[in-house]
Amino acid sequence: MTDSERVQNAVLRSMSRANRFGQSSMAESVETDILPDDGSYLMKISIGTPPVERWAVADTGSDLIWFQCKPCPQPQCYGQKAPLFDPRNSSTYMSLSCRSLPCNALPRHYVQGQTYPRCGSSNVCTYFYSYGDNSYTMGELATESVSFDRNVLFPKTAFGCGHNDNGLFNENDAGLVGLGQGSLSLVSQMGKVGHKFSYCLPPYSPKTTTKLRFGEAATISGNGLVSTPLITKNGSLSLFYFVNLEGITVGKQTVRTGQSNGNIFIDSGTTLTMLPSSFYEQIEALVKQAIGANQFIVQNNHYKLCYRNANSIQNFPNFEVHFTGANLSLKPQNFFRRISNDVICFAMLPTDGMPIYGNVAQIDFEVEHDLDRKKVSFAPADCTKQ
Q: What is the pLDDT of residue 14?
A: 55
Is there a cis peptide before residue 355, judged by omega within 30 degrees of 0? no
Considering only 37-41, 125-129, 146-150, 284-288, which range has the smallest mean pLDDT? 146-150
Length of the chain in terms of residues written:
386
| pLDDT, position 271 | 96
Report the distance separating Cα 247 and Cα 208, nearest Å. 32
Residue 145's pLDDT is what?
Answer: 96
Task: Pick 356 or 24 by higher pLDDT.
Answer: 356
Q: Are 327 and 262 in contact (CB under 8 A)?
A: no
pLDDT at 96: 97
Q: Residue 141: what pLDDT?
A: 97
Identify whether the C-beta of residue 383 lies closer than 8 Å to the C-beta of residue 201. Answer: yes
- Give 25's pLDDT tier (boundaries 50, 70, 90): very low
**What average pLDDT does range 48-58 have in this prediction?**
96
Give the pLDDT score at 28: 79
Residues 6+ apart with CB under 8 A from 259: 244, 245, 246
From CA 353, how far away is CA 311, in angstroms rounded?
A: 34
For residues 103-125, average pLDDT: 91
3-state secondary structure of 356: strand
Fold of 3-217: Cathepsin D, subunit A; domain 1 (2.40.70)
377 neighbors 224 (Cβ within 8 angstroms): no
C-alpha distances in Å from residue 365, one per residue of 60, 76, 328, 377: 16, 38, 10, 10
Q: Which residue numbers are catalytic?
A: 59, 267
Average pLDDT value for residue range 223-242 = 94
Average pLDDT rounded to a whole number, residues 293-304: 88
- Listed range (2-16, 115-129, 165-179, 225-239) with the worst mean pLDDT: 2-16
**Mean pLDDT across the chain, nearest whole number?**
92
pLDDT interval class at 13 (50, 70, 90): low
State the chain's maximal CA–CA distance in angstroms: 64
Contact 267, 207 (CB under 8 A): no
Delimit the domains of the chain by residue range.
3-217, 220-385
Q: What single DSSP character describes residue 11?
A: H
Does the pLDDT of residue 359 top 60, yes or no? yes
For range 213-223, the mean pLDDT: 94
Q: Is the model's pLDDT at 314 over the cut of 90?
A: no
**CA pair distance 270, 26, nearest whole angstrom:** 32
State the CB neighbour count (10 A cutoff) for residue 285.
14
Eight-class DSSP state of 58: E
Q: What are phi and psi of 63, to 5 degrees?
A: -120, -25
Pick from 296, 215, 224, 282: which is nearest to 251 by CA?
A: 282
* Mean pLDDT, range 23-43, rounded to an integer: 82
Question: HEC string of 208-219?
Answer: CCEEEEEEHHHC
Can 3-217 and 220-385 be said to share one CATH topology? yes
With beta carbons less than 8 A apart as the criterion, state whether 304 and 266 touch: no
Question: Quick one: average pLDDT of 95-110?
Answer: 95
- Compute CA 66 distance to the chain's CA centroid, rounded to the nearest angstrom: 13
pLDDT given for residue 6 in this prediction: 53
Which CATH entry fits the domain spanning 220-385: 2.40.70.10, 3.30.750.24, 2.60.40.2700, 3.30.413.10? 2.40.70.10
The residue among 87, 83, 178, 75 whose CA lies nearest residue 129 is: 178
At residue 4, the pLDDT reads: 53
Pairing of strands 264-266, 356-357: parallel
How high is the pLDDT of residue 83? 96
What pLDDT does 24 receive?
A: 43
262: Cβ contacts below 8 Å, ≥ 6 apart = 231, 233, 242, 243, 244
pLDDT at 44: 97
**Tens digit of each residue's pLDDT (9 = 90 or more) over 176-210:** 999 999 999 999 999 999 999 999 999 998 889 99
